[in-house]
Amino acid sequence: MADKVRVVVRHIIMLLCFWLPASRRKKIERWLRGREEYKKLQRSDWVLMSWGKSGRTWLRVMLSRAYQLKGGLDASKLLDFDNLKHSDPQLPAVFFTHNNYLRDYTGNAQSKSHFQGKRMVLLVRDPRDVAVSQFFQWQFRMRPNKKF
């Protein structure tokens, strides 16, 4: 619930920043998103980091199904940070990230020190496949306002 409140607060702050230049608003929004992610990182049991279009959602679906079978949970629930943990405290809180917003919040562009002490999984995909997937994302699926 606290995560939903943070999202609402972020949206309100962004509405109040309407008068700022677009570049400044974008910087503020990325910092606020980074703060939300940092709070999740602190509460997570383990972290799955990946480059965009590397199959993170596909892996989330497979992990969700495994946890659903293990915990006898509703098959319609997709693993999203700690939602399955609420149903079964034995299940982990998994933080999924590309580390882009976290870097904006922590200022650690070159360092991964904010992950210190966390169990990590790095999801890697053949860069050629990532490039093809990213092309189709930008060309056919992405909303125009998300393209810079």
- For residue 44 the two structure tokens come to 């997570």
For the stretch 119-146, pLDDT in tens is 999 999 999 999 999 998 888 887 776 6
Query: Among 109, 95, 100, which Cα is nearest to 51's?
Result: 100
Say if residues 25 and 14 touch (Cβ distance below 8 Å): yes
**Proportion of the chain above pLDDT 90, given as a percent:** 61
- Residue 15's pLDDT is what? 94
For the stretch 44-66, pLDDT in tens is 999 999 998 999 999 999 999 99
pLDDT at 112 over 90: no
pTM, 2 dp: 0.84
- Residue 3's pLDDT is what? 81
From residue 20, how far is each of 26, 50, 110, 138 by CA, in Å? 10, 32, 28, 27
**Distance of alpha carbon 72 from its chain centroid, rounded?**
26
What does the DSSP assignment read for 63-91?
A: HHHHHHHHHT--TTPPP-BTHHHHH-TTS
- Residue 148's pLDDT is what? 58
For the stretch 58-102, pLDDT in tens is 999 999 999 889 888 888 888 888 888 888 888 899 999 998 899
> What amino acid is encoded at 99 in this protein?
N
